[in-house]
Amino acid sequence: MKTIFFKTVRLKWLLLALSGFLAALSVNAQTTTLSADGSKDTYALIDKILGKSAASETPDCAHPDFGPHITQTMDETLGKYVFSFFIHVTPDNDRCKASITDRQRNEIKTISKSTEAVQGFYGDTCTFRWLFKLDSGFQPSSRFTHIHQIKAGDGDANQPLITITPRAGKPEKLELIYAAKTGGKDSKLAFANLSEFKGQWVEATERILYATNGTYELTLKKVSDGTVLLSYTTNSLNMWRVDTTYIRPKWGIYRGSASTLRDEEVRFADFSITKEANSGSLKAPAASGSGKASAAE
């Protein structure tokens, strides 16, 4: 009887210790949220949370007659304000740069001047959550269309590590794409029929350990009934880049120009970035010595 008693007491203490440990992690984790609130100045709201100029990659100056290309809309399905990202076949372009005529962009992102809570440093474990909705008639570019990117902020920064990419074809797909380095071969990690996403609010949960031997998880599921549309997990993936000092998320519409395009509105809601308590516990790799540290777009 004494043996059973002491085992029971020991188990209770272990459970209490585990509960305390998990509670400590929860308390020390940092979560930053960005939700539409119906305010008039959408860009000011985004910049306040993600950092000044977080909403700078819009085609507003190329299409001033339309006004802001990111606005807030009362969504009937969710019953609350959401962010509407607009892109037009003409005259929208890529950040009003006259030299870039083969693509269009309307994105938000965290930047180097953002708070550390929304930047990804080596050894950080970050979880991103958000909602998005593609229109029922959404038409991806025959070249490329990205609605989410994980991208280095500097160093080897030209090509994103991760994209969520609606892909034209028969049938159309929604693809999860990975690239270990700029100029390297893309890897298609997972895909699903794009038709399952059109006209639906989708909840995205993405968890990343930023490291050369990092981890990556993504789950996309319908808000209406919780049906999982796409799921991917790996415990071994290089989620860092040479000469990079930080990695960040991007959301919006980024697409290659093509004759098949149409004007689009993609809706987003309830962005959150959580940095776990154990973040930054790994030592970053040494710089390559190349001296290259280009700023990412």
Instruction: Identify the CATH number of the domain in which residue 76 sits.
Output: 2.60.120.200
Domain range for 112 is 32-275
pLDDT tens string, the chain, 297 residues long: the values are 544 444 454 555 555 555 544 444 445 789 999 999 998 899 999 999 999 999 999 999 999 999 999 999 999 999 999 999 999 999 999 988 888 889 999 999 999 989 999 999 999 999 999 999 999 999 999 999 999 999 999 999 999 999 999 999 999 999 999 999 999 889 999 999 999 999 999 999 999 999 999 999 999 999 999 999 999 999 999 999 999 999 999 999 999 999 989 999 999 999 999 999 877 777 788 777 654 444 555
Residue 6 lies in a domain: no
Rg (CA), the chain: 21
Residue among 263, 267, 230, 217 nearest 77 (CA): 267
Q: Which residue has the tokens 């930023």?
A: 210
Q: Is residue 297 part of a domain?
A: no
Say how many domains are in the chain. 1
Q: In this predicted structure, what is the pLDDT of residue 291?
A: 46
Angle at 246 between CA 242 and CA 247, to 5 degrees: 90
Query: Does residue 106 fall inside a structural domain?
Result: yes
> pTM for this one?
0.88
